[in-house]
A = this chain, B = another copy of it.
Amino acid sequence: MAEAKAPVLIVGGGTIGCGWAAAFAAAGHPTQVFDPAPETAARVELVWRKALPVLERLGNVGADVAPPSHIARLDEAAETVAFVQEALPERLELKRQVLAALERHVPADAVIASSTSGLSPSDIQDALAHPERLVVGHPCNPPYLMPVVEICAGAKTDAPAMDRADAFYSAIGKTVLRLRREMPGHLVNRLQAALWREAVHLAAEGVASVDDIEKAVTKGLAARWCVTGPTAIFHLAGGEAGLAKFFDDLGPEVEKWWASLGTPRLDAETRAALIEGVAQSPGLADAEALAGLRDARVPEILNLLSGTEDRNGSLH
């Protein structure tokens, strides 16, 4: 018989919250989604049905699984909730108010993880009676598909809360990245923003079609980055002496490139150019088909990279 998993409470029933709910429920956690809006129930079920085949492809479905459920009031939360995943809109006061109210309904030692990408965990936790158990646990979108979760402590977070969040996410098949200090956007969104800024610059300057700029990533950079990260690539380029030789040979050159990167604005003209470029890109205009392709292909790539056996083994 499978070991009983601790109850999880998701706070906020938007796309991210429902995606989190699917990931936790599939791993065997009894999972509730708190949101006062009654239409949340339908969204929880819709995302669950979309996510389950993806989670199955990833080998992230446990042995004893029930769908997530919706609750409209905090006093309906399970008494033994061990982990709270907050996924409210990105408004500091809203998060502070809802989490402070929530605290009266969950055990004092439950970890509270915020999905925030841009707010400070120190600011959020200040509203709590037990601020030491608040961490950032930021997913990539969609949370049921993408393996990375970034965790970060606020000024008052204690080390056990970070360790418990790490262990909790790892146990549902996530790859946990630990920030050593607060930084708006954490790692993933900042790196993504940096690349996208240059993509927008190249499109705005008419250097290539949006379609070709997209392909520079999808056909050019992405497959290699699945194996060798941005620094590893230059470490390999340096041959036996690695990065040290790369810096000696090409350090000044790299700094020249950096200085030449664009700093576009998202003004009306640039927005129009991008929208028009997407409309003209075969395979981009149909967003639903593209999302379907993503949900089909990305699990295959992740399995290929990690070995399906390992992933199944971690949950069954």
Contacts and interface: CB of A to CB of B under 8 A. Distances in A.
A205 B183 CA distance: 10
B207 A181 contact: yes
A4 interface: no
Nearest to A293: B227
Given A187-B208, A230-B199, A304-B297, A290 B214 contact: no
Nearest to A276: B243
Of the candidates A147, A193, A260, A294, the one having the most CB atoms from chain B within 10 angstroms of its own CB is A193
A231 B212 CA distance: 11
Chain A interface mostly:
helix
A107 interface: no
A160 interface: no
A130 interface: no
Interface in A236-293: 236-240, 242-244, 247, 251, 253-255, 257-258, 260-261, 263, 265-266, 271, 274-275, 277-278, 284, 287, 290-291, 293
Contact of A231 (B208, B223, B278): B278
A243 B278 contact: yes
Contact of A212 (B177, B218, B223): B177
A275 to B, nearest CB: 5
Contacts of A278: 231-232, 235, 242-243
Of the candidates A180, A221, A298, the one having the most CB atoms from chain B within 10 angstroms of its own CB is A221
Nearest to A200: B231
B225 A222 contact: yes
Contact of A290 (B190, B197, B225, B232): B232
Contacts of A215: 148, 175, 177, 229
B298 A227 contact: yes
A214 B185 contact: no
Interface in A195-231: 195-200, 202-203, 205-210, 212-231
17 contacts: A118-B253, A140-B221, A188-B220, A194-B195, A213-B231, A217-B230, A218-B226, A218-B228, A222-B226, A226-B226, A226-B298, A227-B298, A229-B284, A235-B278, A243-B271, A258-B263, A304-B304
